[in-house]
Amino acid sequence: MNFDTRELPAYTADALVIGSGVAGLQAAWYLARAGKHVLLAVRDTLLDSNTNNAQGGIAASFGADDNPELHLADTLVAGAGLSDRDISALVTEEGPRDVQVLWDNGAAFDTNADGTLALGREGCHSRNRIVHANGDATGAEVARSLNALVAQEKLVEPMEHCYFVDLLVQDGRCYGAVALYNGKKIVLRAPAVVLATGGTGRLYSKTTNPEGATGSGMAMAWRAGAEVMDMEFVQFHPTALSLKGCPNFLISEAVRGAGGILRNLKGERFMPGYHPMKELAPRDVVARCIFKEMQAADSPFIYLDATGIEDVAQKFPMIAATCREYGVDISKQPIPIAPAAHYMMGGVHTDEHGCTNIKGLYACGETAATGLQGANRLASNSLLEGLVFGRRAAQHIVSEPAPAAPAGLYWQENSLLEEPQDDSDALITESQELMTRYLGIRRDAAGIKKALAALDLLKRKRAGRAALTAEELDLRSRITVDELIARAALRREESRGGHFRTDFPESRAEWEHHVLDSLETAAASEERKQEMGADKDGYDVWTGRPISVMA
């Protein structure tokens, strides 16, 4: 995209927050309360986020029989050896206070008759610790309450329908971003930028995520030189509604926590034969077991039977209403379900304050890889992570002296490009099919190589095309993140958590570490590819020097 920041309309603030899920709203709220002028910019509207769609709840140790240490232990088990202990201890220790603050400030969480929080249980949790609202609409209540708090802050300036082009980075420091605002290029200047753009579910054909979950923040950070971590770990939620013509609607894990049973097409309960935790086994295990049963029956779905749950429609009103709309009475009929892309454990690598390797650039929520989620996120730890790191990023920004941009600093991009074409939607569909086929629940080297070769062809198809529209920018970001996932998946020669390789079906001790990737290592890989040539599948899988790893 051609631009010269000296010629663009400019917006200036103390901080730029990109995204309005739990992490972005929490960061904006804390920044404004500390006296910072905040630009809160979002791709669609303030309510379009994964947070708004989240059902299950927020995991936090409020129960009399619970404590942060028990929550930490469960987090580490679910993370399959890759959840960072220090980060996980920080989140499980600080998280309950953040939930309490939100509750004290108007979040209408479900309570017991004595006024204490009503706590549910989900997969891999050893205690009831899931804080929820309206049964199965926790995310919507979190989004509502945080939006209400942010709306009271005069220092927060919302900017809806703002699609970001690139971050503005000079000498290792971020000074803002260029965006399309209502279709026109603008520059947003701020000494601190918080990426809270959500996950990557829309890279796949079937997902529980909203339209904006395309990894755009990760792609933008990558292009700016930020490190990404653990991009191979994509979590597929085991139970999404699977009916012809219906949306990929999430059936919360809380349904299984309340007694829902998974059955194959013969009506047989199958999870006891796979795992001692049965329906409440880690999500990666349950998703693979369901996938196996679907393959055995050559069926696009199996069943989640909730008919044995007392007052199930009252406990899960949103699920009941949605299923009823598509002809399923969950109190009398099993629910047709199938796994769907749900959550990205990897993302932009950050420290305990949400800082990236680029000064002034922060990431939090699903966009970030803090080390909490490991190889397989523990259910309902995502909203908790967003609250904790949204706050911590804001506090770090407030504590740091804001640097002034060097005098005369500007950015310019001049490319002689053709006019955009109208086939972006077709290319997006093609990329989604590639990811679903080769980088879904089950993977192998041959398939990953085919995906990389096909993605390379997609890049060539769009080479020389002007990224003048949000659709073209979206396609560019999608391909970037697709490649990052594929590169990491090819690199990790084992199976762990959300990454299952049929050619390496076991976990391996030598792979019990995170994998970092950056433009520097990618450049080294490209140089090595030129030396080695392409393989028989048309894509050189030589990775150059090893991708940077963090023990």
Angle at 332 (CA atoms; ends 326, 336), nearest 5 degrees:
45
> Both tokens of residue 491?
């690199």
> Both tokens of residue 10?
């400019």
d(CA 17, CA 197): 9
d(CA 504, CA 2): 45
Cα separations in angstroms, 208 against 64, 80, 239: 33, 23, 10
Phi and psi (nearest 5°) for 13? -155, 175
d(CA 550, CA 516): 7
Task: Please write down the HEC assignment for all residues of 265-299.
Answer: CCCCECHHHCCCCHHHCCHHHHHHHHHHHHHHHCC
Name 514's Cβ contacts closer than 8 Å, sequence gap at least 6.
82, 229, 230, 369, 371, 549, 550
Angle at 99 (CA atoms; ends 98, 102), nearest 5 degrees:
90
d(CA 380, CA 77): 14
d(CA 45, CA 441): 31
Q: Are 402 and 191 in contact (CB under 8 A)?
A: yes
Phi and psi (nearest 5°) for 462? -100, 0
d(CA 137, CA 317): 9
Angle at 30 (CA atoms; ends 154, 409), nearest 5 degrees:
80
Element (H, E) at 156: strand 156-159
Residue 283: active-site member: yes
> Both tokens of residue 268?
């047989």
d(CA 298, CA 300): 7
Q: How buried is 276 (Cβ within 10 angstroms: 0-12 exposed, 13-18 middle, 19+ buried)?
A: exposed
- DSSP character for 214? S
Beta strand 347-349 with 228-229 is antiparallel
d(CA 394, CA 132): 25
Angle at 352 (CA atoms; ends 179, 192), nearest 5 degrees:
30
Task: Please write down the HEC assignment for all residues of 457-482.
Answer: HHHHHHCCECCCCHHHHHHHHHHHHH
Of 121, 189, 283, 377, which one is the catalytic site residue?
283
| Helix, coil or strand: residue 309 | coil
Beta strand 514-517 with 261-263 is unpaired
Residues classed as catalytic:
283
